[in-house]
Structure 1
Amino acid sequence: MKIIDLNSDGGIGANSLYCQLGDFHFVVDSGLHPKKVGRLAAPNLRPLQGVNLDLILITHCHLDHIGSLPLLMRAFPNTPVIMTQPSRILIERMLHNSANVMMREREEKGITEYPLFTHEEIDRVAPRMYPLAFNSPKKFAGARDEIEFTFHPAGHIPGAAGIEILHKHRRIFFTGDVLFNVQRILAGAKFPSGKFDTLVTETTHGATDKPPGNTRSKEMIRLVDTINATLLRGGSVLIPVFALGRMQEIMAILHDARKFNRLADAPIFASGLGIDISDYFDQISKKTGLVHFNRTILKDLKVRKMPRDFVPGKEPGIQGIFVVSAGMISENTPSYTLASCLVGSPKHSICFVGYCDPDTPGGHLLAANNGDQFLFETVNVKTRIRAQIERFEFSGHASRDEILDYAVQCNPRSVVLTHGDPPARAWFNEALAAKLPNAKILDPVPLQSYDV
């Protein structure tokens, strides 16, 4: 197999892999880098010049995996795109939201390259996106060769898939983003067993060890306890969330707590894309049974839309639980404005329930100490950190030891490392070399071609 990482920066960003098996050419994912703008945020498609691309496969609908898909489809106007049934339900909404964000950033930041694609283009290419059920092998013939591929549940978010590929006598597996543990609204990954010739694996948590004894159930209890203590002292709680997956999981946890009278009485507020995505989860639940979430959860909680009249830096006039995006408290988002209102008072709490890039405002808040000065530059608010700031382990990614154990079980001849920062990949490189001394471990340099 020939493989090229099309993500110019490597790491976690514009995830996209070009693969060639015999005369069959395909790409896995086509994302956007969250910390770059314009065409620099998209994968570099130069290695695909002159290629007759047979197929595009999508692992899941986070924007670092699908955010540039219309650009790839524009370059290859006859190539079909295949994904799981839940992903097919979600993907157009996620892409339309991305187009909205780019239009806003064009106006606010003067990024003239935006939008990279339009709503009309999304609608035009959508008929080339096809769903395929989990665990349903499908043969796909290209111009001169064929492969068989199967989507396997990967946990992580609804629709996320690992992809098993058979080509002649070779067996290859792409983990995509994977979580083996059960989430409140989603089952864990169910990956195939047995030997693979090549394993292409994510490495997100390679640089961090999972704390001993830490479980999702314990973190749920700790989150509810923190919310109750905050409300008891007269404060409000901000829970910054990713709109796809994490908001719905947190709402389900709050619903459970309230149903069993373990959550203090206070209004719950939410905003934006996450509310819309909840409708799509309801569809996925009814059509596939793969998600344990429906709109009744929001109705029972009497979730309200977040007020728009908050003044940056000024405490809100209403007490509540605010489950709003963005998960990393990015600038110009509801969570950013609300954080500027809450962080200066010790009665409030900010509860992080997902990954925060160290270079984002959320990452800066987590790294700061109580009493430090903090600047919310976009809204011109500078204040001392007095609020309770907590991090809860609700990761959507498997631990490094879980992925290592799976790799050992697969006993592959080759392992390709993807979706991880350099320290994470370095840990996997060393650990895999020790556990699989006869395997070839490859940490691909972006845009370089490798024979695996």
Structure 2
Amino acid sequence: MKLTDLNRDGGIGANSLFIQLGELNLLIDCGLHPKKVGRAATPDLRALRGVTLDLIIITHCHLDHIGSLPVVMREHPNTPVLMSSSSRLLLERMLHNSANVMMRQREAENIPDYPLFTHEEIDRCAKRFTPLPFGQAKHFRGAKDEIEIIFHGAGHVAGAVGVELRHKRRAIFFTGDVLFENQRTIPAAKFPAGHFDTLVMETTRGTTERPLGKERVHEVARLVASINDTIQRGGSFLMPVFALGRMQEIMSILHDARKFGRLVDCPIYASGLGVDLSDYFDDIAKKTKHVIFNRNMMKDLRVKPLPRKLNAGEDPKQNAVYVVSSGMMVANTPSYTLASGLVGHARNTVGFVGYCDPDTPGGELLASKPGDDFLFEAAHVKAKVKARVDRFELSGHADREELLEFAVQTKARSIVLTHGDPPARAWFAEQLAQQATGSKVLDPVPLQTYQV
């Protein structure tokens, strides 16, 4: 097998792997880098020029895995795209939203490359989207070769899969983004135990050790307690969330807490794509049974839409919970604008409930100390950090120890490290060198082809 990481910068971003297996050419994901714009945000697709691309496989519908999909489909107009049944229900909505965002960015930030694709193009692409249920083997035949494909539920987010490929007598496994714990909305990953010849694994949380007492059940309880305390002190609680997965998980947590009398009575505001996707989750729950969610949860919580006009640097003083995107508090998003008005007041709390890149505004706020001056550059606001800023360990990615245990038990001849910052990959490389002595560990340099 030959493997090329098409993510220009490595790390976590425009995730895309070019796999050459026998006579077959496969692409695993084709994402968009959340911190870059224009063509620089896409994978480097030059390695695919002149190549007959036989199949594109999508692991899940976060934009860092699907955001450039119409671009590569345009360049390879006959290539089918395979994904889980749940992802098939989500994919078009995610891409249409991305096209809308790019149109707004083109006008506001003068980005001539945008949009990278149009709504009409998404509609044309959708005819090539093929769903595959979890656990069902699919034989795919190219011009001269054949593979067997099996999707395994990966937790993480609705529709996420680990991908098992079998070529002749060789078994290869791609974890995709994975979580081995149950969430309120989706069950834990169900990966096959035992031997694989090659394992390609994510490494997102390689630098994050979960301390004793920070187990998910305890973190949920701590989150609810922190909300109650903030509201009772007369403040507001901001949760920056990812629209797909994290918002629905948080709404489920709040619903259960209020149902059992553990959450104070207060207004709850939500906005944007995440609210819309909650209806999609309801449909997935009914059609696939792989999601636990009911759109009536939002009604029971009396969730209100965010006011249309948010003034940067101004505390709305609603004594409320805000569950809004973006999860990393990227500039010019509702969470960014709200934070610019909330962080300057001690009565408020900003609580992060998912992965946050250190170089994003969210990551920088997490690294700040009380009393620091914090610049919301895009909003032209400087605020002294007086609010409580906290992180709750509710990530959609597996703890590093669990992922390491899975990797070791595969007894893979080769283990490829992906989807992680350099320190995270370094931790896995060191641990695997000690615990998987029979495995060759590869941390691929972007755009370099490896024989695995």
TM-score by length of 1: 0.99
Alignment partner, residue 359 of structure 2: 359
SS in 2 for 1:165: strand
Give per-residue Cα distances to partners, 1:323-361, cap 9 Å, x unaligned: 111111111111111111111111111111111111111
**What is the alpha-carbon distance in structure 1 between the residues aligned to residue 300 and residue 220 of structure 2?**
19
Q: Take 1:436 and 1:237, find their aligned partners in 2: how far apart are those partners?
A: 44
The residue identity in structure 1 corresponding to 2:161 is A
Match of 2:205 in 1: 205
Distance 1:68 1:314 in 2: 36
Instruction: Give, in angstroms, the shift of residue 309 of structure 1.
Output: 2.7
> 2:165, 2:374 → 1: CA distance?
49
**What CA distance in whole angstroms lies between the structure 2 residues aligned with 1:15 and 1:381?**
33
Alignment-mate amino acid for residue 400 of structure 1: R
User: Which residue matches 1:376?
Assistant: 376
RMSD of equivalent CA atoms: 0.9
Deviations 1:72-96 (A, max 9, x none): 1111100000000110000001111
Report whether the alignment pairs 1:88 with 2:80: no
Partner of 2:247: 247
Match of 1:56, as an amino acid?
A: I
Letter in 2 for 1:25: N
Equivalence for 1:52? 52
Work out the CA distance in 2 between the residues paired with 1:125 and 1:383.
45
Q: Equivalents in 2 of 1:33, 1:340: separation in Å?
A: 24
Whole-angstrom distance in 2 between the partners of 1:234 and 1:428: 44
In structure 1, the partner of 2:280 is 280
CA drift at 1:57: 0.4
Render the CA deviation track for 1:277-336: whole Å, top value 9, x for unaligned.
Answer: 101000100101111111010010010101123322222142211111111111111111
Aligned to 2:409: 409
CA–CA distance in 2 between the matches of 1:201 and 1:193?
15
CA distance in 2, matches of 1:317, 1:349: 12
Report the Cα distance in structure 1 between the residues aligned to 2:334 and 2:264, rounded to whole angstroms.
Answer: 23
Structure 2 partner of 1:100: 100
The residue that corresponds to 1:330 in the other structure is: 330
In 2, distance between residues paired with 1:187 and 1:406? 17
- Secondary structure class of the residue paired with 1:338: helix
Specify the alignment match of 1:319 in structure 2.
Answer: 319
Match of 1:232 in 2: 232
> Structure 2: how far apart are the matches of 1:63 and 1:54?
22
* AA partner of residue 336 (structure 1): Y
Correspondence 1:86-165 to 2 at 5 A: 86-165=86-165
Question: 2:102 is paired with a residue of what secondary structure?
Answer: helix
Query: In structure 2, what is the Cα distance between the partners aligned to 1:96 and 1:309?
Result: 24
2:389 is paired with a residue whose SS is strand
Give the Cα separation in 1 of the matches to 2:404 and 2:310.
46
Q: Distance in 1 between matches of 2:228 and 2:10?
A: 42
SS, match of residue 291 in structure 2: coil
Amino acid corresponding to residue 287 of structure 1 in structure 2 = K
User: Contact (CA 8 Å) 2:236, 2:317: kept in 1 or not?
Assistant: no
Residue aligning to 2:299: 299
2:392 paired residue number: 392
1:57-110 per-position Cα deviation (integer Å, ceiling 9, x unaligned): 000000010000001111110000000011000000111111111111110110
| Stretch of structure 1 that moved more, 86-95 or 49-58 | 49-58
Question: Which residue in the other structure is 1:257 paired with?
Answer: 257
Q: How many residues align?
A: 452
Which AA in structure 2 matches 1:347?
Answer: R
Q: Distance in 1 between matches of 2:201 and 2:317?
A: 48
Displacement, 1:213? Answer: 3.1
Amino acid aligned to 2:323: V
Whole-Å separation in 2 of the counterparts to 1:114 and 1:437: 47
Structure 1, unaligned runs of 5 or more: none
User: SS where residue 235 of structure 2 aligns?
Assistant: coil
Give me the whole-angstrom Cα distance separating, in 1, the residues matched to 2:446 and 2:339: 37
> What's the CA shift for 1:212?
2.2
Of residues 413-422 and 376-385 in structure 1, the stretch that sits farther from structure 2 once superposed is 376-385
**Structure 2 match to 1:269:** 269
Q: Distance in 2 between matches of 1:105 and 1:245?
A: 24
Moved more, 422-431 or 137-146: 422-431
Counterpart for residue 20 of structure 2: 20
Q: Residue 411 of structure 2 contacts residue 438 of structure 2 at CA under 8 Å; is this kept in 1?
A: no
| Offset at residue 168 of structure 1 (A) | 0.4
Deviation at 1:424, TM superposition (A): 1.0
Once the two structures are TM-superposed, the CA of residue 371 in structure 1 deviates from its matched residue by 1.1
% identity of equivalent residues: 64
CA distance in 1: counterparts of 2:352 and 2:305, whole angstroms: 20
Return 5+ residue gaps in structure 2 as ranges.
none
Distance, in Å, in 1 between the alignment partners of 2:237 and 2:317 is 13
Amino acid in the other structure paired with 1:92? E
DSSP-derived class of the 2:163 partner: strand
What are the superposed Cα offsets for residues 218-237 of structure 1, whole Å, 9 maximum, x if unpaired?
11110111111111111111
For the residue of structure 2 that corresponds to 1:162, the secondary structure is strand
Secondary structure at the aligned position of 2:25 is classed as strand
Decide which moves more: 205-214 or 97-106: 205-214
